[in-house]
Amino acid sequence: TPPEEEGGFDEELTLAGEDGDWVVRFEQSFNVFLTDTVIFILDILYRDRDYARFFVLETIARVPYFAFISVLHLYETFGWSRRADNIKVHFAESMNEFHHLLIMEALGGNSVWLDRFLARFSAFFYYFVTVGMYMLSPRMAYHFSECVERHAYSTYDKFLKLNGEELKKLPAPEVAVNYYMNEDLYMFDEFQTSRAPNSRRPKVDNLYDVFVNVRDDERSIARQ
């Protein structure tokens, strides 16, 4: 669990110490390098195009949970292991990211064909990479997913700080209101394993609240 800061958490990923296992250090260093490379590319392609960037980010962010569930189902089918609790949590995480994606689509983030193509092609490639990584080293796959979620948290937090006053003047998309206020919150509670049940009930009065909720969702997932 990453250490808490004022309203957030450390954005620096803690690598294994000098006395730690060299395999763990390699895995984490590789994950950080890969994440930083993707961030660099996104910074170039989506400079000043926040909603399009968020659409791509949320399309990609769903993929690890699909991959984890696929591998866990495979293991269960062959009788190698049975981890129903893990499958349930990963499904809840995927549904949370799915609603983030719907929110970004409602804001027009998917309006350009090239953005949709890039997001879906990247997600297709990422799925098979994650499946292979999870089968090889679940520890490495979970750490890589944590890297992605921490970047998502940092991205939304920065966006809120830069655009907070403007966002407070804009209405919340209907899909966000339905997800955070009107739908059955069972799956919403399920992915927040680091919190007490029913302890988080977000408000959705405007678009600022929506992005606060999305940001905090990413933190809840990354802290698991």
Q: Are 157 and 219 in contact (CB under 8 A)?
A: no
Beta bridge partners of 9: 4
Number of folded domains that form the chain: 1
φ, ψ at 78 (rounded to 5°): -85, 0
Give a yes or no: residue 10 inside a domain. no
Q: Residue 24, Cα to own-chain centre: how many angstroms?
A: 22
φ, ψ at 222 (rounded to 5°): -65, -25
* Residue written as token pair 């549904």: 95
Residue 217 belongs to domain with CATH number = 1.20.1260.140
At residue 105, the 3 state secondary structure works out as: helix
Give a yes or no: residue 126 inside a domain. yes
pTM of the model: 0.81
Domain that holds residue 73: 35-222
Give a yes or no: residue 119 inside a domain. yes
Q: List the chain pLDDT tens, one digit each, 224 residues.
A: 333 343 444 444 445 544 458 889 899 999 999 999 999 999 999 998 999 999 999 999 899 999 999 999 999 998 887 777 888 889 888 989 999 999 999 999 999 999 999 999 999 999 999 999 999 999 999 999 999 989 999 999 999 999 999 999 999 999 999 888 875 555 555 555 445 455 456 788 999 999 999 999 888 765 55
Spatial separation of the C-alpha atoms in residues 51 and 115, rounded to whole Å: 11
Computed on alpha carbons and rounded to an integer, the radius of gyration of the chain in Å comes to: 17
Give a yes or no: residue 21 inside a domain. no
Give a yes or no: residue 17 inside a domain. no
pLDDT at residue 5, rounded to an integer: 40
Q: Are 136 and 205 in contact (CB under 8 A)?
A: no
The token pair that represents 16 in the structure block: 């294994």
